[in-house]
Amino acid sequence: MPITRRLATVLLLPVLLTGLAPPAHAQPYQRVLNGGFDQGKTSWWSSANTPARVEAGRLCADIPAGTTNPWDAMIGQNDIPVEAGQPYTLRFTASGKAAIRVSLRLIPPPGTSTLNQQVTLTETPRTFEFTGLSTVASRHAQVSFQAGGATAPYVLCLDDISLTGGVIPPGGGWHYGSAVRVNQHGYPAGGRKQASIVDSATQPKPWQVRDAAGAVVASGQTRVHGQDAASRDHVHLADFSALRTLGTGYTLAVGGQVSLPFDLLARPYENLRRDALHYFFHNRSGIPIEAAHVGAAHARPAGHLDIAPNRGDTAVPCLPGTCDYTLDVRGGWYDAGDHGKYVVNGALAAWQLLDLYERSRARGDATGLRDGLLRIPEQRNGVPDVLDEARWQLEFLLRTQVPAGKPLAGMAHHKIHDLAWTGHPMLPHLDPQPRYLHPPSTAATLNLAAAAARCARIWTTWDQAFAQRCRNAADTAWRAARAHPDRFAPKESVGGGPYEDNQVADEFSWAAAELHATTGDPGYLRHIGSTLTPAGFSWRDTAALTDLTIVRHPLRFPLDRVAAARQRLRSVADGFVRAQGAQGYPNTGEYVWGSTSSTANNAVIIATAFDLTGEARYRDAVLASLDYLLGRNALNQSFVTGYGERDSRNQHHRHWANQLDPTLPNPPPGSLAGGPNPSLEDPAAQQNLPGCAPAKCYLDDIGSYSTNEVAINWNSALAWVTAFADTR
């Protein structure tokens, strides 16, 4: 068999096995996932023209005729870690009617190959084994079986795929830098300032804060916290709140360990609150994102406006067989790392921006009310920029309602996205996929009703006509949801996330609270039942938003309901504060998909308790939550792009994809990464994080969508919390 070398020198030892035992390996660490297909096709993909399925325990694909290159029809697995200078052995069983090429190569440029070998298949399954030497280290190698160029169609079947090699065990080899963990961005000079230190000592240890010149400006003794369950670290705490001198480049030293630098500032969150909010303009659909507003690196053409290759969002049909009309659903925000737009998630994000505005107005926060705060086209139009940004999403939400005279009139379509997942990377204007409206759901309709009711209340001041549109949409959506209380979105996730929700009592309660706050109609009060619990809130669990609406507008609700909502809110906030104090790192959130948003949403509840009481412990807990997000955590990682020495910058996103294509940018400053998620729900996490402690199950890697995606409802929470912190 000929040896092929592409872009790098490789060592190939081809062996056709004929019943012989495989060669022994000193450390045969398995590097592919699901190589026996016991979990169906999980972790494996195939080209669009090469449909694959699992039959009798084998992955079988229909190979088309008439293609030109081997890579025109492929089966593969991505995000495989390889180490420089280590041999890797690929073993598999295959059957077919033609020659194929097998490859182990890197995905990012320059695409260095470790293995690249042609084999001839027969209809009788045969087992092959090849070994190649990796010349580079990467988490982005790809195993592929390339079957393009066939002269006649046939079925290719694969089984028992194994890739072994390397000396670092799966999940091993991680180093988190300094054992002294601080808020890498900075602390308010007048606020509480703490750090967490990983140290096995059972007695306190001396600490020193040094200024940028190395002079000691504060000192003390650590407090031994002990074992931290979520991280499996033994932790000490250092409190240097007495240091109040403004400055940059401070470090905290404990023994031989020195923290990353941090600042003490009067307003450390002044810029972050703007960047967190500016995130939404970056993710607008249907408008050019021009360099004048975002800089040259992040500028891009408008996406999904019917300009080839886009199919566009101005006349989107329903999934076949579900309706007979099209809707203009242009605009809005791309939800996360893909090109989908989802009503349940989008309504919550818009609602949080509206709540941010109403809080700013109530608390006299002039920055939050500024027209000119953000670099957006609507700047200087006489309307606060936060409302301009929220309106971009609200206009999209209003367009998702089923037209009058059609079945399910007034309900909201659950989502709109591509027929299949787009390639990665992929700028929105280059997306070639057809897009479809997915059937209406009760949850989406109630989310729309809640956001539109709040829109109607707020825009009365700024645009009466738009306020009336929102009022009409909210009323129509409420009636439609009452008429169809059990239209649930299916759990399907091809081309977009499912966002399924089969429990909608909380959405009914939230929408009723917002409609009552806007209209004063007491009839809505009987539908308010679901309220805040220690679970907090998310896009699926919106009961807490009922109480947040009530305490935001106490004069619009009966006194007994206001008193009860305030009591519940304080009780839950107290629980979050206690939980934070019981940990070695100051996190109040759950370690789940989007765990950083759980931290930020819980901080919203704690901050609201501060607004109600003025008690400093609530303010301190919010600031400690930001410390966690900005580096005082088990990973020594700032989850916010552009803030901190070790900041997340390879989030899962279609066009902020510098890790895959150096011509594309990293995320803009202020983008919040999803955070630790021990469920390991993507191949990159499964490959690199098995056995991780829950607080360390995170990978700053574009392939790790379950730990490192971005999302609009995560950044809306960050924008809210940083605005609060900037006014304290």
Q: Which amino acid is at 258?
A: V
Q: Which amino acid is at 555?
A: L
- Indicate if 72 belongs to the active site: no
- What lies within 8 Å, CB to CB, of 632 at 6+ separation is 181, 182, 183, 194, 195, 196, 585, 586, 624
Query: Of 575, 566, 579, nearest to 609 (Cα)?
Result: 566
- Indicate if 338 belongs to the active site: yes
Alpha helices by DSSP H, listed for 93-239, are none
SS3 annotation, 133-175: ECCCCEEEEEEEEECCCCCCCEEEEEEEEEEEECCCCCCCCCC
663: burial class by Cβ within 10 Å (0-12, 13-18, 19+)?
exposed
- In the set 159, 199, 313, 338, the catalytic residue is 338
- In the set 79, 355, 700, 701, the catalytic residue is 700
Quickly count: other Cβ atoms within 10 Å of residue 557's Cβ: 22
Strands 74-82 and 138-146, sheet pairing: antiparallel
- Indicate if 159 belongs to the active site: no
Query: What does the CA dihedral 407, 413, 417, 419 come to, rounded to 10 degrees?
Result: -30
Contact, 428 vs 339, CB < 8 A? yes
Contact, 410 vs 479, CB < 8 A? yes
Q: Which helix (H) or strand (E) holds 418?
A: strand 415-418
Query: Of 295, 419, 399, nearest to 347 (Cα)?
Result: 399
Quickly count: other Cβ atoms within 10 Å of residue 308's Cβ: 9
State whether the Cα torsion 313-318-323-324 is positive or negative: positive
- In the set 652, 653, 701, 726, the catalytic residue is 652
SS3 128: strand
- Indicate if 700 belongs to the active site: yes
Q: Indicate the DSSP class of residue 333.
A: B
**Any idea which residues carry the catalytic annotation?**
338, 652, 700, 709
